[in-house]
Amino acid sequence: MGTARYITRRLAYGLILMIGVVVLNFILIHAAPGDPADVIAGEMGGATEEMMAQIRARYGLDQPLPVQLWIYLSNIARFDLGMSYYFDRPVTELIGQRIWPTVLLVLTAQLIAIALGVVMGVLASRRPNGPFSGFVSVFSTVGYAAPVFWTGLMLIILFSVIVPLFPVEGMTSARFRGTGLAYALNVAHHLVLPAFTLAIIFLAQYARLSRASMIEVLGADYVRTARAKGLGEGAVTFRHALRNAVLPILTVAGIQFGNLISGALLVETVFNWPGMGRLAFDSVLRRDYPTLLGVLFCASGVVVIANLLTDLSYRLADPRIRTGGR
Amino acid sequence: MADPLMSLRDLRVEFDTRHGRVTALSGISLDVMPGETLGIVGESGCGKSITALAMMGLVPNPPGHVTGGQILFQGEDITRAKPRRLRRLRGREIAMIFQEPMTSLNPVFTVGDQIAEAILLHQDVSRAQAEKQVVDLLATVGIPEPARRAKAYPHELSGGMRQRVMIAMAISCRPKLLIADEPTTALDVTVQAQIFDLMRDIQREFGVAIVLITHDMGAIAEMTDRVAVMYAGRIIEQGTSDQILDNPLHPYTRGLIGCIPVLGREAGDAASLPPLAEIPGIVPPLHLLGDGCAFAERCALADDYCRAVRPPLEEKGHPVACHHAGQGVPA
Ligand SMILES: Nc1ncnc2c1ncn2[C@@H]1O[C@H](COP(=O)(O)OP(=O)(O)O)[C@@H](O)[C@H]1O
Ligand code: SF4
Ligand SMILES: [Mg+2]
């Protein structure tokens, strides 16, 4: 029904947003003082006239601005994000290697945050004035306020010095050469600490939100109807109440996706996780503009897709939006 | 006389509130006979809904507690029943419909699924059989195109349709007792009449006993066999519908019917009153109830004795709790 049209429309908006990001990138390069070719060449360290001409031709810098923008856009449309100054390899290739670790980290963290947050919220809501409920409130305040670096370092200290259970650096063990299941397990083992570090901030929010949401929903008339039917507390809580209580959590999870990705940048740096965040961080230090801009471009693409998926799951979960939005 | 289906015996319910413990029901006793319709009337806050919820073992806890008395369903005291036993009674032997059809159905499930859930819970039938029963039930409660409507979500139906769905759900397991807590208060007048017609049809067809909670004296006149009038957590008058309507003894009941001596209103303007009569003043908050008659502040017949001594429920033609029952301007 409306869903196909809705997706098309959302994709169109996403495309417009991405073009906006690209234009912004373009302006950033051109806002740098002097000839962009100098900026670009300068970062490569002393260029010959021949190289300057090459750069000008490649970016179309000898053309009028609108033409240049068009060339820039069409390069990107062909997935050409330029060459990394530092690695001297296509940016798309670099990102292609780095995007999956980031996606893995971000999705795992989001999953942990939502699942644990909801479980904590549900348990707390059963006795709104009980000790566990108090613990959740304190935990969510602390978890929300604590900086990622601090949480990450605390976890590193805890798990490298005090109880060395989980590796604190990289995505696989050094010189690890396994494949298949062994590889997956090795990665999962390395994933634990960064994912939890990233999850904690959001976990805190989801726990608090689902506690409040569950308390409200458990007082709703339809929950009373469910009890009057003769359903047990399990079915009342999980089937009737939770299905409604997760709706606001889905909304917030979608809104938080951008923050999750910026959080990933920090977490990847702390844990030396070979993702896009780490790449962006290194690119800033190295003034590797094409790489940095490419990462920004891909990150915004990931956010657009994530928001679309969130909205779709929301439509699945709430029939009032699915059928009432006409 | 047959044994009562449901009896409340001196039922007390208390709530923990900001003002400490308050008594919402102070010793309610009433019987519901098989197949009859008992009306419970009274203004907002008198304890009608809590009485209804108590019959289902659903007094919200916290903050509510049943602190005394018995709730006997077919002789079994459900205040002592295990949760498992209570769940087998609810929805199957005792069903309930509520005042707010707009919010009483879960917005994320189809109405068909919500009815089927009750059927699957209490009857040994397959999913397909339950779904067929759902369509039949929706037809029984007068919903057109029942097969299609079973797949609708609550927000796609009008208030009247939703209340019909609630009724279909309530009668799905052929309960012996149907409690209807102000089932039409939230609906248009024409829809109200349709819902009452439906309830009468269902009673005729299924022989179910109905407890009808309302503050609409017109509905009492049309629907009920017997009536209990509540005020501030007590029953203050009880009798057959004819006794209560034709010969009300308590000044509060007379005020409800719109015929009499209440402070600030002249006798005789009953004809101009809407079905829901307004009595000047408000029901006193539970934590401010004193030792005397709870109605004294609003009663034209009140004297010092009324304010000092609470009138017991006594037989004066029919049970009534008033020191000056039947006095004053005759009905
Ligand atoms: N959840 C609750 N917490 C505290 N007091 C309550 C609660 N529910 C009902 N009460 C009290 O019980 C009294 C009776 O309420 P209720 O049965 O809903 O009245 P009615 O249905 O007659 O309008 C009210 O005065 C109200 O203050
Ligand atoms: S006991 Fe007194 S105050 Fe109470 S209703 Fe009767 S006459 Fe009025
Ligand atoms: Mg009520």
Length of chain B in residues, anyone?
331
Three-class SS state of B106: coil
* Residue A234 forms contact with B (CB below 8 Å): no
Of residues A221, A228, A243, nearest to B56 (C-beta):
A228
Is B321 a residue whose pLDDT tops 90?
Answer: yes
Is B330 a residue whose pLDDT tops 50?
Answer: no
Per-residue pLDDT band at A326 (split at 50, 70, 90): very low
Q: Which residues of B touch A222 (CB under 8 A)?
A: 103-107
Region A288-312: mean pLDDT is 82
Of residues B91, B100, B156, nearest to A230 (C-beta):
B91
> What pLDDT shows up at residue A40?
64
Q: What is the CATH number of the domain that holds A203?
A: 1.10.3720.10
Three-class SS state of B231: strand
The domain segmentation of chain B, as residue ranges, is: 103-174, 248-320
Axis-axis angle for helices A242-271, A276-286 (nearest 10) = 40
Strand partners, B227: B39, B239
Per the CB < 8 A criterion, the answer to whether B331 and B272 are in contact is: no
CA distances from B145 to A319, B137, B156 (A): 21, 12, 14
Burial degree of A312 (CB within 10 A; 0-12, 13-18, 19+)? middle
Tell me, using a 6 A CB cutoff, whether residue B306 lines ligand 2: yes
Beta strand B76-77 with B177-181: parallel, antiparallel or unpaired? unpaired
B7 membership: H or E segment, kind and range: strand B6-17
Residue A248 included in any domain: yes
- Rounded Cα distance between A24 and A29, Å, is 9
Question: Could B121 and A323 be called an inter-chain contact, meaning their C-beta atoms sit closer than 8 Å?
Answer: no
Other beta carbons within 10 angstroms of residue A62's beta carbon come to 11
CA angle B209, B210, B215 (to 5 degrees): 160
* Residue B103 forms contact with A (CB below 8 Å): yes
pTM assigned to the model:
0.80
CA angle A97, A195, A200 (to 5 degrees): 145
Question: Could B104 and A323 be called an inter-chain contact, meaning their C-beta atoms sit closer than 8 Å?
Answer: no
Tell me, using a 6 A CB cutoff, whether residue B283 lines ligand 1: no
Question: Could B107 and A320 be called an inter-chain contact, meaning their C-beta atoms sit closer than 8 Å?
Answer: yes
Region A95-102: mean pLDDT is 89
Tell me, using a 6 A CB cutoff, whether residue B293 lines ligand 2: yes
Q: How far is CA A172 from the centre of its chain?
A: 21
Report the domain count for chain A.
1
Burial degree of B1 (CB within 10 A; 0-12, 13-18, 19+)? exposed
Alpha-carbon torsion B23, B43, B213, B195, what sign?
Answer: negative
Which are the contacts of A212, defined by CB distance < 8 A and separation ≥ 6?
A: A121
DSSP at A229: T
> What pLDDT shows up at residue B72?
94
Q: What is the DSSP string of B180-203?
A: EESTTTTS-HHHHHHHHHHHHHHH
Question: Could A319 and B117 be called an inter-chain contact, meaning their C-beta atoms sit closer than 8 Å?
Answer: no
Three-class SS state of A83: strand
- Work out the end-to-end distance of chain A between its first and last CA atoms, rounded to an integer number of angstroms: 10
Calculate the average pLDDT of chain B. Answer: 87
Distance B283 CA to ligand 1 centre (A): 12
Question: Could A229 and B90 be called an inter-chain contact, meaning their C-beta atoms sit closer than 8 Å?
Answer: yes
- Residue A167 structure tokens: 């590796």
ipTM: 0.87
How many alpha carbons lie under 13 Å from residue B202 in its C-beta half-sphere? 31
Q: How far is CA B80 from the centre of its chain?
A: 23
Q: Which domain holds residue A120?
A: 95-275
Residue A196 included in any domain: yes
Region B196-222: mean pLDDT is 89
- Rounded Cα distance between B129 and B116, Å, is 9
CA angle B23, B29, B34 (to 5 degrees): 135
Residue A229 included in any domain: yes
Beta strand segments in A155-300, E: none
Which are the contacts of B302, defined by CB distance < 8 A and separation ≥ 6?
A: B293, B295, B296
Region B97-120: mean pLDDT is 92
- Residue B69 structure tokens: 């008395």
Q: What percent of chain B has pLDDT over 90?
A: 59
Is A41 a residue whose pLDDT tops 80?
Answer: no
> What pLDDT shows up at residue A35?
63
Per the CB < 8 A criterion, the answer to whether A43 and A289 are in contact is: yes
Closest of A85, A13, A15, A56 to residue A293, by C-alpha: A85
Tell me, using a 6 A CB cutoff, whether residue B42 lines ligand 1: yes
Other beta carbons within 10 angstroms of residue B102's beta carbon come to 17
Distance B236 CA to ligand 1 centre (A): 18
- Residue A160 structure tokens: 């490298």
- For A75-97, write each residue's pLDDT tens digit: 888 888 877 777 878 888 988 88
- Residue B302 structure tokens: 């009140």
Residue A203 included in any domain: yes
- Rounded Cα distance between B129 and B118, Å, is 13
